[in-house]
Amino acid sequence: MSSMEEGNNSNHLPPWYVKAIWYAIFAVTLSIAAWYIALQLTDLMVTVAICFFLAFSIEPIVNKLAARGWKRGLATLFVYVVGIGAVTAFLVLFGLVFFQQVVDLIAEIPNIYDVIRSFFDETFSITLPEPSVLMDQYLNDAVSLLANGVIGVINTFLGMVFGALTVLLVTFYLVVDGPRFRSVVCSMFSQRRQREILDVWEVAINKTSSYIISRLILALVCGTATTIFLLIVQVPNGLALGIFTGFVSAFIPTIGTYIGGVLPVAVAFGASPIQGVATLAFIVAYQQIENLTIEPRISAKAMELNTAVSFLSVLAGAAVLGPIGAFLALPVAATLKAFVGTYLRRTEVVTSKLTDGGN
């Protein structure tokens, strides 16, 4: 009898076991739901990150204008008008140059095809189709493609416009109501925590402003070098193309290097193949030099980050959020460094050949 009771007791689960199982199931379910919601809100979170980045970028200017007696709303609107006006002028000016080059290139396609056709006929005895035959086929394909893709293009364009307006509107209110928003956030914490939050917030604003300044320096360096080269090889519109390359490569993350280089290369090839090859070689060589030497040093100095940390931060940002993540990586990394630094206690380092740089 006693042996049967002992067996029953050994098979009896402890009272907390069932409750722990249910807690575990609840935790797993909640984690899966949170992960699913986060995936669905990825675009929204990226939009919010962009809004905060833009707000941190322009708030120092708005604060200076507000200190001079401007209302924050009027100061923010003034910054918007100046910024949007500059971007619009930039796009119109270089858009016209780009459009003209595309038109000239399209006009030269028949002549280029005739040269290629003659080369194949004389060298390999291969007769390519007549230009008129290819043109008829191309027009038919183009009409079909346009009919199928016009709705998608319109939807994409409207989505981009809506996204841009959303970012501008949210950024506007983040800047205008910045002090009030920070007061609401700080009211949820103790005064000691409030000071830490405000310090981190101030660091984020300063680092973002420093990042924009570093981008402007890179744009100036790249634009100057490209302009000088284009003028030396006598590429048409060398000054305008150099400025375009500098700003696009500096402010469009990841793919800006290639977008900025396409226009001057296309213009150079339109002038002559030799100028085109030379310009392409310069763009590729300069971008390698900038990416490996100039940009890491300027960004590291402006953001007070180690060069290797800067490079790895950009890679991590690109892996997480793509081009936008690469662009936002450095100010985020610098802010995190400052935030962590407030909680780390540093002590004097012992003397060692491993820490004195070999001196």
Please give the pLDDT value at position 136: 63
**Closest alpha carbon to 243 in 265, 219, 223, 260:** 223
The yes-or-no verdict on residue 272 having pLDDT over 90 is: no
**Closest alpha carbon to 287 in 313, 263, 255, 311:** 255
pLDDT bin (cut points 50, 70, 90) of residue 81 is very high
For the chain, which residues make up each domain, given as ranges? 48-112+153-188, 195-344
The yes-or-no verdict on residue 342 having pLDDT over 70 is: no
- % of the chain exceeding 90 in pLDDT: 18
C-alpha 263 chain-centroid distance: 20
Mean pLDDT over 7-14 rounds to 59
Please give the pLDDT value at position 137: 65
The yes-or-no verdict on residue 277 having pLDDT over 80 is: yes
Question: What is residue 1's DSSP assignment?
Answer: -
The residues, ordered by sequence, that sit 6+ positions from 96 with a Cβ below 8 Å of its Cβ are none
Mean pLDDT of the chain: 80
Residue 272 has phi, psi (to 5 degrees) of -170, 150
Q: Among the ranges 80-89, 110-119, 297-306, which has the highest mean pLDDT value?
A: 80-89
pLDDT bin (cut points 50, 70, 90) of residue 244 is confident
Q: Which residue has the higher pLDDT, 15 or 289?
A: 289
Please give the pLDDT value at position 38: 83
- % of the chain exceeding 70 in pLDDT: 82
Please give the pLDDT value at position 170: 93
Please give the pLDDT value at position 28: 92
pLDDT tens-place string over residues 121-164: 788 877 777 766 666 666 666 656 665 666 777 888 888 888 88
- The angle formed by the CA atoms of residues 24, 25 and 28, to the nearest 5 degrees, is 85
Q: Note whether 171 and 310 are within 8 A (CB).
A: no
CA separation for the pair 305, 30 (Å, rounded): 37
Length, in residues, of the chain = 359
Mean pLDDT over 41-51 rounds to 86
The residues, ordered by sequence, that sit 6+ positions from 38 with a Cβ below 8 Å of its Cβ are 45
Q: Which residue has the higher pLDDT, 56 or 13?
A: 56
pLDDT bin (cut points 50, 70, 90) of residue 359 is low
pLDDT tens-place string over residues 157-176: 888 888 889 999 999 999 99
